[in-house]
Structure formats: C-alpha cells, structure tokens
C-alpha cells in the first residue's frame, strides 16, 4: 500500500499532477526531506501567499468531521477581534465535544488591561452566541505568556482524548500550535505561519502520547472580518504588532472622530469627555466637527482618511449607523478587528458608523 504523503508545512495531501490544486510538488522535489508543498515553499522562502482553491464549504465540511470524534475542542480567537474571529457556526460542526476557548495575542493589550474581566466577558459573549465553554485561557503565542496554564488546561480537560484545535484564519492558530510543539520537542516553526488569512490547509497530526493526538484544522474564513474588505497594505496598518498605546481625546458633543476611513464615531450628546482609543498605533485618527464630517468623508476617503486606500476604497462597504445611549458604568465600545473605545460612566449618546457586517458591541471597560 502506498503511504499518503502530506506536506510538513500545512498537512495537505501531496500531489504532483496539477499545479493549480492544493498540495502540488514537482516530481523532482518529491524525494526532498521534509517534503513541503509549493504553496508552503513560496510562503517560507519568499513570504508570498498563493490563493487556495478551497471553498468555504470545503473548509466547513472538513471541520464537521470533528463531530464524529470523542475529543476536546480548543477554539482559538483573537482577543483583538473577538466577534470577528468567533465563527458562530463552528460549535454546531464540532458536535457535543467539550470546548475550551483560548484568547490569543494578549501581548497586544495594554499592560493595565483587566485580564480576568476580559475572560469573564469572553465566557459570557460565547454563551450569548450559544456556546458554553468549559474554560477560558488567555495567551500570547508570540511571547509564550499563559502557555503553562493552557497546557495544563488542555491536559486536564482532554482526559486522554484527542484534541482538535479550531479557529478562524489569522487568529494565530499555527503560531499557537508551533509554540506548543517547540515547547515539547524543541522544533522551530514546524507549521507555516503568515501575515495573511488562509494559510493552514489540512489536518496536521501531532502525537500527544501513544494513543492520542492534537490536530490542527483548516482555518475557517470568516466573511464578517473587516480584513476581507481591505488590501494587504491596509491590513498591515490596522493590525497591531506591538502593545497598544491608548490615545486620549477630550471630546465635545457635536464632534466626530474618524478611525482611518474605516469607522466613524459621532459624539451626539453629553458633557466634554475623555474618550480613550485602543487601536493599532499606526492607525490615524481624525477629529472634526459633526457638521463637517459628511463632507470630509466624501472628499477625503482613501486620502486623509485611510485605510481604506485610494485603490481599495471602492471595495469598502457603505457605513451604517448605530446609536448607543450609555450611562452608569465605564464602557468599551468594541469594533471587531480594529480595537475599542473606552467611554466614561456619564450619560452620553454616541453614533457609530461601520460596515453592516462588522458587528459593534459593548462591554464593561477592561481598563
Ligand atoms: P492562523 O491563520 O490562525 O494559523 O494564524 P497565524 O499563526 O498564521 O498567525 C497570523 C498572524 O498573527 C501572524 O502574523 C502571526 O505572527 C500573528 N500572531 C500569531 N500569534 C500572535 C500573538 O500571540 N501575538 C501577536 N502579536 N501576533 C501573533
């Protein structure tokens, strides 16, 4: 029996018949050790990502195999894009298996972030979206923070069963697994990682002990993510790479803030207040009078108000308004994929304009 050859980078089945299909390796390179597919090869050596000819349906079909197993599901989300990276449909596909939720990229959060409040919020938000999780862990796959706890958590919740790691593209799933592997084996960069969505292709089998394995699964593409409307240059501007520095704006009512040209915040009613903005440090913020905001947006989108850039602004969906009347607690207005704005505990009215698919939410302030 011929053994099935899989790519050591992404786990896809290797073939050398069709250049356009996943897993292609030229005949001449088949005997290389380790064998990696053309896509991973390019990614590794040229940092270049090729499009994957899988449909969203293919991905979901692959994930739905998990429902037939008895396992622990480890679901990874990006703490910076909780709603955008959550994928509501996922838990229907993973069956009745217990789930733990892992929030990745905590190195990007300001040091003063209240992590236990973040955990509570994640647990509750998951529940509100119909998913009961056993536990929540916060990690940074970049620095290794939180890995002792999450490793311990996986060991105790899996109860000797297999582990499936699921998540939407770009949450850092590969980086997370690489870190787990390098800790236990010392191997570096065992799995391909990249800046762009859609990198991991197949199920990668990583033995945990003689009887069980940890499986990496294809990253599900989530159309609700802001990144799907933006060019790769734009994505670089909105993606934080370092700890976020809060930016404080003293705002009067009837003033507007633009976050690039992506989202607009109108302060409709209330006393002069400090609004604290938590976005990638490279993302520019513009303040103007509410009465001038429409004009500014129409004339300067893609220029002063960027991203989206001049080239990608045509793809960017029209903004839709949503009004919040807040009072009582200090509140974060969360903009999935971008960051959040902390507003004080005063009675205020704010209108947020964002693409219809990008669901704005509120929570008790984390800081
Ligand atoms: P995947 O598509 O979910 O497998 O995501 P990757 O592992 O390819 O990571 C996507 C991007 O997020 C890459 O640019 C990673 O360097 C970055 N990334 C992953 N984990 C972390 C983290 O803990 N902190 C930070 N700052 N970036 C991370």
Nearest CA to ligand 1 atom 17: 172
Q: Is 118 within a domain? A: yes
Most confident of 43-52, 87-96, 296-305: 296-305
Residue 131 lies in a domain: yes
Mean pLDDT for 292-306 is 96
| Percentage, residues of the chain above pLDDT 90 | 49
In short, whether 339's Cβ falls inside 6 Å of ligand 1 is no
- CB of residue 141 inside a 6 A radius of ligand 1: yes
Question: Candidates 108, 172, 204: which one to mutate for ligand 1, based on the most atoms within 8 Å of Cβ?
Answer: 172
Q: What was the pLDDT predicted at 349?
A: 96
Q: What is the mean pLDDT of the chain?
A: 86
Q: How many C-beta atoms lie closer than 10 Å to residue 49's C-beta?
A: 18
Condensed to tens digits (0 to 9), the pLDDT of residues 268-291 reads: 999 999 999 999 999 999 999 999
Q: Is 264 in the pocket of ligand 1 (CB under 6 A)?
A: no
Residue 358 sits in which domain range?
236-364
Identify the band that residue 207 occupies on the pLDDT scale cut at 50, 70 and 90.
confident
Q: In the listed set 222, 244, 269, which residue is the last one of a domain according to the structure?
A: 222
pLDDT at 283: 95
Residue 170 has pLDDT above 50, yes or no: yes
At residue 196 the predicted structure's pLDDT band, cuts being 50, 70 and 90, is: very low
Residue 223 has pLDDT above 70, yes or no: no
For ligand 1, the distance from its centroid to the CA atom of residue 242, given in whole angstroms, is 12
Pocket test of ligand 1: the residue of 47, 84, 107, 175 to mutate, having most ligand atoms within 8 Å of its CB, is: 175
Answer with the one of 168, 189, 222 that is the final residue of a domain: 222
Residue 224 — very low, low, confident or very high, per pLDDT cuts 50/70/90? low
Helix axes 173-185, 147-158, angle to 10 degrees: 90
How confident is the model at residue 189, as a pLDDT? 56
Rg (CA), the chain: 22
What is the enclosing helix (H) or strand (E) of 91?
helix 90-93
Q: Record the pTM.
A: 0.82
Q: Which candidate, 302, 317, 277, 355, places its Cα nearest to that of 110?
A: 277
Nearest atom (ligand 1) to Cα of 173: 3
Q: Are residues 68 and 206 in the same domain?
A: yes
Number of structural domains in the chain = 2
For residue 42, pLDDT over 50 is answered with yes
Closest residue by Cα to atom 14, ligand 1, is 195
* Residue 194 maps to a domain: yes
Quick check: bond before 329 cis, omega within 30? Answer: no
Distance 167 CA to ligand 1 centre (A): 12
Residue 195 has pLDDT above 50, yes or no: no
- Contacts by 269-272 with C-beta closer than 8 Å and gap 24+? 269/348, 269/349, 270/346, 270/347, 270/348, 270/349, 271/346, 271/348
- DSSP tag of 16: S
Q: Span 60-73, mean pLDDT?
A: 86
Is the CB of residue 105 below 6 angstroms from any atom belonging to ligand 1? yes
* Domain C-terminal end among 222, 248, 281: 222
Whether residues 196 and 275 fall in one domain: no
Contact 241, 140 (CB under 8 A): no
The reported pLDDT for the residue numbered 341 is 95
Ligand 1 proximity of 354 Cβ (cutoff 6 Å): no
């Amino acid at each position: 029996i011929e053994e099935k050859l899989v790519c050591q980078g992404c786990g896809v089945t290797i073939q050398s018949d069709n250049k356009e299909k996943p897993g292609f390796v030229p005949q001449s390179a088949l005997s290389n050790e380790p064998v990696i597919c053309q896509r991973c090869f390019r990614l590794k050596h040229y940092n270049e990502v090729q499009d994957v000819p899988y449909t969203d349906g293919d991905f979901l079909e692959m994930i739905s195999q998990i429902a037939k197993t008895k396992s622990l599901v480890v679901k990874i989300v990006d703490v910076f894009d909780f709603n955008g990276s959550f994928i509501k449909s996922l838990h229907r596909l993973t069956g009745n298996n217990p789930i733990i939720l892992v929030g990745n990229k905590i190195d990007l959060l300001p040091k003063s972030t209240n992590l236990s409040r973040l955990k509570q919020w994640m647990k509750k938000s998951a529940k509100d979206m119909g998913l009961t999780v056993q536990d929540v862990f916060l990690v940074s796959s970049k620095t290794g923070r939180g890995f002792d706890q999450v490793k311990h958590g996986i060991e105790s919740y899996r109860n000797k069963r297999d582990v499936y790691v699921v998540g939407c593209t770009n949450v850092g799933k590969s980086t997370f697994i690489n870190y787990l592997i390098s800790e236990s084996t010392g191997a570096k960069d065992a799995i391909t990682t990249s800046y762009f969505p859609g990198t991991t292709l197949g199920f990668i089998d990583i033995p945990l002990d003689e009887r069980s394995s940890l499986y990496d699964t294809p990253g599900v593409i989530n159309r609700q993510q802001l990144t799907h409307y933006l060019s790769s240059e734009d994505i670089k501007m909105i993606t934080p790479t370092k700890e976020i520095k809060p930016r404080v704006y003293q705002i009067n009512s009837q003033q507007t803030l633009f976050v690039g040209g992506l989202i607009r915040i109108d302060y409709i009613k209330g006393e002069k207040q400090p609004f604290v903005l938590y976005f990638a440090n490279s993302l520019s913020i513009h303040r103007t009078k509410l009465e001038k905001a429409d004009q500014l947006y129409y004339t300067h989108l893609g220029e002063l108000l960027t991203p989206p850039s001049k080239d990608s602004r045509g793809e960017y969906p029209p903004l839709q308004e949503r009004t919040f009347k807040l009072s009582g607690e200090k509140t974060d207005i969360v903009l999935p994929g971008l960051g959040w704005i902390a507003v004080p505990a005063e009675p205020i009215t704010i209108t947020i304009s964002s693409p219809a698919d990008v669901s704005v939410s509120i929570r008790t302030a984390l800081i």
